[in-house]
Structure 1
């Protein structure tokens, strides 16, 4: 059965049966409060046809996760790799797609680094202190967001100001002489709102190359993040808003060593990274708020500078400017259309590129329990011409307790500036490969979710199948070339149960079977992975959680196999009063000796304690 046939079958089945579906009003209202911003139609959790994981502020606090990388890792279908803790370069892959095929948004603005080999985003420096929520949309989303969204989208939303005036501060100390702290103030009233925050971390760290291989030199890490967010409420429900985020980080790392495991060993290397991103937007509703108009200008700039033995060894800068308009018109309760235009201009080390995009989305609700979505987009790259992508999705609430989701979509990724300008001199070339083409993908998924009537239990399973063509990789004959094809299929399973009013469990499992066109297993990708958490929150001042992460064996790039691992973390909080809270964390409780990337070490048994103030 083809992707399109399968999706049409689901939609027809939903349309024919939906007249018999009835949803509990209480359950419906609860789910309708969760809006998925990455859908571009602001659909609720019961209306989105794509598989999506939402990690909220409460989840981040419950598990006491400092970095967005660790938060994203808890979502089913997501794989992370980091070459050494505390500032090591970190990537996120969704359903087997490469990190360059994962589009990352901060407050709606793409923040991938145009100067890197594949244009991907480095998650190493993104602290959670200013994060309100993280959405992980899985599968091709190019119809919604354009280039780079082949595997999916990670959409990060910064913290929202609270009504009134107040703020918070925290400070913690932990293993490896790690100091982390921050403070924020915010306020909101009928006129507008604002939020200012600052966060910093400093640590002696551990050796980036594995200590078990004789690497004893500590690699320090320092990072400071400052952000601001504000909005002005204008007449007739209009709103003007701006956000800005600045991060400056310095991380020591280790050197290339041909005879060492993973070709890495102790060395005097330092990288300095500076990231600036932000946007200004205007929301202008018309026709009694039925016609929403959204105008946005976004900007991001990333500078990277490496030093070897104190001397500069590398410098790169990439920036991106985004112009966007989106109009959304609610024709009636059953029909909604959205359309828009975007222009993205990128530059890296003197090279420039631009993409102009036009898109249209249509949402149809023939009955209250069924939401059908279709979309079409055309992107015109000034280097590679036009690319058209399409997407259709369905979400059917069979009953108040059962939801069926299905989607089919296409994705594309334009070659990065680095790939189109790289000249492989040792390959005997005198110019870049002028025959590069965009990577493209096509994928289908279908999922079933169940919720108990009392809201205490939930479970779901999603099957996915994705093919990527014209994958760009390095070739000794052409530099970078379209030489690979990837086939990825698998399943994501999740479940949760509230055992008592103070004890709950959650877990997920992912199976990914991903191979290239020659049948070779993809490297640095576990076939099996899982997460499990147990939360304790009794009446009283104490609460805590246990987080267990499992990562199966992975194929290394040198043909060997990296052993799988299981890691257990503990967190606890003690509330002294409504304004003061003590908290602590124990990481890698059983001192698991493991690697995420061959040759790079990870922290053993470690921990931290802290205090949080609210005012």
Structure 2
């Protein structure tokens, strides 16, 4: 794996910082602690404010995070009804560039309309907007908090459909060592190992995972050709995280993540690769003047080979897409009284992306060298206050973003070196203000009422602005004049705790993304990215959680009426592509003793349309997954997993009858070790 020159210094600096922390930890503890008083580090950011429940929040705890049937983080997120990627495929069989994250049926394209954070760091690819799911190992996480809607407050820009916050685990959750090795009925393997020793008053977490296999047939049997291939995959991920105290109330966190992913989609030679490196430093203070200062640097790359479905020859080589992002966040919480939590902060993200691709003719010769790319930046300032008035908690905040889109270009050069197209696009910039407000009223010990209103924004990605693409036989043109998307939303809900072990919630919402970027059909085989007037989604979300100790139930459902609002009659009032009206998930688990788990998960996703004109249908799909863990000897446990037990046919793509399929029935077996 190569590291771009501009990234090597901060990347190595973070590694050295993490190593230095390990040796410095005992000394730091001795100098800063009062005699007999222990120093406690968490490895997390500051605690959430008391008004967090004013928004529609669902938390996935660690025991559910690490016990999915597939072992994939996107499978874990699917337990929150309303979460979706552009397609139903997971990170073993999808093209990585199609794996955005969206909530509340506010989809319609492959970019993420949901802000995804790992320990406060945005993880979306800066060029395409997809999420590198294969890089995120569930075993490394302590919890995932999903906020549907909520707008752009202290979360940062990009959260037009919601925010997904993933928090890393420490030694208390992981133990000294945790690892697993499994094999499935197609001889595919999945292995991971994590160590989390406590060192002085701090700790270290080091983790690796490796998944590989020949994959399943995504092409239906009656559509296969000699050139058809299984969805082979080979992915790895490694992370290092060190946490140490600087004083009794201040801790330093250093993290490094690196990953690589190779996949084959539908045809032999249709290979894609994605890789990335990320490093971050974070200082968190929990004294009277609380603060959270975070800085990060990222480098990612993507390549993809497109094979013709008629000639089975290479038609396009997306040779490289190197992208970098540098950013950070600083938040201060001054002591303004026990009844207030005041947050004042700023965040910055600078990104740069470049594309090199080579189209090929029927004779196998490349016909041009095409380059495209540009720069983006977003500088935000925010202030937010949570005010507790007895059983009532009020929250309000505002945010101002200075955004820029600069140095955009598209250039094509013939094999002879002749420039055939050379477009340079005007720089653009602007200010955009957003706000949000909400309340939660604890009407009794058993009932809480909440309401919220909010706005948000998302910049179009460099991919949407500058890169055309082909999914045969449809060509989708880029649009360098796309405007930022804007969210307007409001919601109201109720949370009920009729029993200590039972929680029920219901939320009604109305969200509208104005100037939404959509792939708009211009003719039978041509589309263009355009700002439609809006994507308008209204619906209800419900959740239920029951915890009786040995028996647990978690359920979630979402019903959404989503419509595109556009000037043309062909598109107006149609449902956005790839968005179902109804989705539901339910998991029932039995934990008879320590280390034992028997669980089943039932999921349903309603029918979706492949395209914006509602021509091609993706039928509804209902799947049943299973998970079993049984201790066998000491720290060893037997793990059995089953994906799609009923072997439901899951259609992930339907382009004029050309079909791709999702995961078939798959059985896994292996061992897990956990040393405390």
Q: Describe how 1:560-575 pairs up with structure 2 within 5 A.
A: 560-575=616-631
Q: Describe how 1:58-457 pairs up with structure 2 within 5 A.
A: 58-82=63-87, 84-85=89-90, 86-89=92-95, 90-98=99-107, 99-116=111-128, 119-162=129-172, 166-211=176-221, 213-214=223-224, 217-254=229-266, 266-285=267-286, 289-307=287-305, 312-349=317-354, 351-367=374-390, 369-382=391-404, 383-422=428-467, 435-453=481-499, 455-457=500-502
Per the TM alignment, residue 63 of structure 1 is displaced from its structure 2 partner at its CA by 3.7
CA 540–247 in structure 1, closer or farther in 2 if over 3 Å, else same: closer
Give the whole-Å Cα distance in 2 for the aligned partners of 1:204 and 1:406: 49
SS at the partner of 2:243?
A: strand
1:551 aligns with 2:556: no
Per the TM alignment, residue 312 of structure 1 is displaced from its structure 2 partner at its CA by 4.5
Structure 2 counterpart of 1:42, from 48, 68, 71: 48
Give the whole-Å Cα distance in 1 for the aligned partners of 2:210 and 2:173: 26
Moved more, 80-89 or 332-341: 80-89
Give the whole-Å Cα distance in 2 for the aligned partners of 1:217 and 1:47: 47
Give the whole-Å Cα distance in 1 for the aligned partners of 2:450 and 2:80: 18
Contact 2:154 2:345 in 1 (8 A): no
Give the whole-Å Cα distance in 2 for the aligned partners of 1:501 and 1:164: 21
CA 166–48 in structure 1, closer or farther in 2 if over 3 Å, else same: same
CA 251–238 in structure 1, closer or farther in 2 if over 3 Å, else same: same
* TM-score normalized by the length of structure 2: 0.77
Give the whole-Å Cα distance in 1 for the aligned partners of 2:52 and 2:152: 19
Query: What residue is the counterpart of 1:9 in the other structure?
Result: none
Query: What residue is the counterpart of 2:577 in the other structure?
Result: 523
SS at the partner of 1:112?
A: coil
Per the TM alignment, residue 445 of structure 1 is displaced from its structure 2 partner at its CA by 0.9
Structure 2 counterpart of 1:55, from 55, 60, 64: 60
* TM-score normalized by the length of structure 1: 0.84
Moved more, 85-94 or 387-396: 85-94
Give the whole-Å Cα distance in 2 for the aligned partners of 1:91 and 1:414: 14
Give the whole-Å Cα distance in 1 for the aligned partners of 2:486 and 2:175: 48
Give the whole-Å Cα distance in 2 for the aligned partners of 1:164 and 1:448: 34
Query: What residue is the counterpart of 2:538 in the other structure?
Result: 489
CA 432–540 in structure 1, closer or farther in 2 if over 3 Å, else same: closer
Give the whole-Å Cα distance in 2 for the aligned partners of 1:104 and 1:279: 16
Per the TM alignment, residue 125 of structure 1 is displaced from its structure 2 partner at its CA by 4.7
Give the whole-Å Cα distance in 1 for the aligned partners of 2:153 and 2:197: 37
Structure 1: runs of 5 or more not aligned:
1-34, 255-265, 425-430
SS at the partner of 1:418?
A: helix
Contact 1:73 1:80 in 2 (8 A): no
CA 432–200 in structure 1, closer or farther in 2 if over 3 Å, else same: closer
Give the whole-Å Cα distance in 2 for the aligned partners of 1:434 and 1:62: 43
1:594 aligns with 2:650: yes
Give the whole-Å Cα distance in 1 for the aligned partners of 2:347 and 2:608: 39
CA 195–113 in structure 1, closer or farther in 2 if over 3 Å, else same: same
Cα deviation code 1:419-473 (max 9, x no counterpart): 344589xxxxxx98664321101001111111133x2222111101011111123
Give the whole-Å Cα distance in 2 for the aligned partners of 1:63 and 1:578: 23
Per the TM alignment, residue 360 of structure 1 is displaced from its structure 2 partner at its CA by 0.4
CA 506–354 in structure 1, closer or farther in 2 if over 3 Å, else same: closer
CA RMSD of aligned residues (A): 2.7
SS at the partner of 1:177?
A: coil
Contact 1:84 1:209 in 2 (8 A): no
SS at the partner of 2:102?
A: strand
Give the whole-Å Cα distance in 2 for the aligned partners of 1:542 and 1:132: 19
Per the TM alignment, residue 92 of structure 1 is displaced from its structure 2 partner at its CA by 2.5
Contact 1:395 1:404 in 2 (8 A): yes
Contact 1:296 1:324 in 2 (8 A): yes
SS at the partner of 1:330?
A: coil
SS at the partner of 2:463?
A: helix
Give the whole-Å Cα distance in 2 for the aligned partners of 1:212 and 1:372: 59
Moved more, 471-480 or 154-163: 471-480
CA 55–423 in structure 1, closer or farther in 2 if over 3 Å, else same: closer
Q: How many residues get paired?
A: 554
Contact 1:413 1:439 in 2 (8 A): yes
Cα deviation code 1:31-74 (max 9, x no counterpart): xxxx9x89x76135x75211111112111234445111011111
Give the whole-Å Cα distance in 2 for the aligned partners of 1:204 and 1:143: 44
Contact 2:69 2:643 in 1 (8 A): no
Per the TM alignment, residue 151 of structure 1 is displaced from its structure 2 partner at its CA by 0.5
SS at the partner of 2:66?
A: helix
Cα deviation code 1:157-196 (max 9, x no counterpart): 2222339972122111112211111111112255311110
Give the whole-Å Cα distance in 2 for the aligned partners of 1:73 and 1:236: 39
Structure 2 counterpart of 1:513, from 557, 561, 566: 561
Structure 2: runs of 5 or more not aligned:
1-41, 307-312, 355-372, 405-427, 470-476, 566-571
CA 399–173 in structure 1, closer or farther in 2 if over 3 Å, else same: same
Give the whole-Å Cα distance in 2 for the aligned partners of 1:398 and 1:172: 49
Contact 2:88 2:662 in 1 (8 A): no
Give the whole-Å Cα distance in 2 for the aligned partners of 1:250 and 1:48: 40
Cα deviation code 1:198-235 (max 9, x no counterpart): 11111110133344533662221001110011011112
SS at the partner of 1:600?
A: strand
